[in-house]
Amino acid sequence: MGAPTDDRLDARLTALHDDLASLDGVLVAFSGGADSAFLLAAAVRALGADRVVAATAVSPSLAADELPAARAFAAGLGVRHLTPGTDELSREGYVANGADRCFHCKATLLDTLRPLAAELCLTAVATGTNADDAVAGFRPGIRAAAERGARTPLLDAGLTKADVREASRRWGLETADKPALACLASRIAYGLQVTPAGLARVDRAERALRAHLARAGAAVQDLRVRDLGDGQARVELDAAALAHVDDAAREVVRAEGFTAVDTRVFRSGSMNAALA
């Protein structure tokens, strides 16, 4: 989809503001990604920081580098930031890692945030689902959130990912160009059990590879180390960064216990191809 026109974006931002302003208060499910960060900033603009709370779920599926950045962003807005633990690994459906894994993850998140919002006397829980997400095909997590009454202000206002990034630039948000964020479980091939050790291994491999490529002078945006099972890993990177992947870079990934390392250009949701 092309860049948003000013008039169209202005109309959508007005709709977003009016929707949020109609709430008594809101708990924002704040992953730290571009969408939820923008939603959090929009909520503060519409309601004031004292009527908005950010909640970042903490579990083994959250990449280690994300929580400090989320804390800093919320602090910059003057918003209370909570970090409730979520125990999706206690759900058999999540651990089994079938096609409905994201349903179980989002269900756990909302089942944690809804009572928290009630304790805080906040009438709404909102997620950063945008208009592109709703037409992107396979999104079981959206269904789980909808079944639990989560609000989707960005989607309801018709805001796309491009809209979110452009509006974030207007507002001077540092998350405007932040690469797409997905939980660590999305790196585990469907059918392989999700375990704390497996999630931690993927996280270590990604952080080590990103640091290695930075030392080599490669500018890295999107990076995934996908666990395909049987010791096989697939590294996905932006095309420019991929050119810097040599055997030394592959050895960084092998050091985390992977025996075979394939490389290719990054594609969001590439694991879903196996479901077809």
Would you put residue 27 in left (φ > 0), alpha (ψ -120 to 50) or beta?
A: beta
Residues with Cβ within 8 Å of residue 170, at least 6 apart in sequence: none
Mean local confidence (pLDDT), 13-32: 97
Annotated active-site residue in 102, 105, 121, 183? 183
Mean local confidence (pLDDT), 26-48: 97
Residues with Cβ within 8 Å of residue 231, at least 6 apart in sequence: 257, 258, 259, 260
Active site residue 183: yes
Mean local confidence (pLDDT), 114-140: 89
Q: Do 87 and 131 fall into the same domain? A: yes
**Structural contact between residues 142 and 103, judged by C-beta atoms closer than 8 angstroms:** no
Q: Do 21 and 137 fall into the same domain? A: yes
pLDDT above 90 covers a percentage of the chain that reads 81
* Local confidence band at 55 (pLDDT 50, 70, 90 cut-offs): very high
Q: Do 118 and 213 fall into the same domain? A: no
Q: How many CB atoms lie within 10 A of CB 44?
A: 21
* Residue 275 reports pLDDT greater than 80: no
**How many structural domains is the chain composed of?**
2
**Structural contact between residues 151 and 125, judged by C-beta atoms closer than 8 angstroms:** yes
Q: Do 101 and 127 fall into the same domain? A: yes
Q: Do 10 and 136 fall into the same domain? A: yes
- Prediction pTM value: 0.92
Mean local confidence (pLDDT), 126-148: 85
Q: Do 92 and 196 fall into the same domain? A: no
Rounded-to-integer distance, Cα 14 and Cα 94, Å = 38
Max avg pLDDT among 24-38, 127-141, 178-192: 24-38
* Residue 166 reports pLDDT greater than 60: yes
Residue 1: what pLDDT? 47
Residue 179 lies in a domain: no
Rounded-to-integer distance, Cα 171 and Cα 167, Å = 6
pLDDT above 70 covers a percentage of the chain that reads 96
Mean local confidence (pLDDT), 255-270: 91
**Which among 108, 135, 170 is the end of a domain?**
170
Residue 137: what pLDDT? 58
Note down the domain range covering 18: 6-170
* Residue 10 reports pLDDT greater than 70: yes
Residue 145 lies in a domain: yes
Rounded-to-integer distance, Cα 20 and Cα 42, Å = 8
* Residue 11 reports pLDDT greater than 60: yes
Q: Do 19 and 134 fall into the same domain? A: yes
More confident residue, 216 or 272: 216
More confident residue, 234 or 133: 234
* Local confidence band at 136 (pLDDT 50, 70, 90 cut-offs): low
Rounded-to-integer distance, Cα 85 and Cα 56, Å = 9
Residue 43: CATH number of its domain: 3.40.50.620
Q: E strands within the chain?
A: 26-29, 52-55, 80-82, 124-126, 223-229, 232-237, 260-265
SS (H, E, C) 162-225: HHHHHHHHHCCCCCCCCCCCCCHHHHECCCCCCCHHHHHHHHHHHHHHHHHHHHCCCCCCCEEE
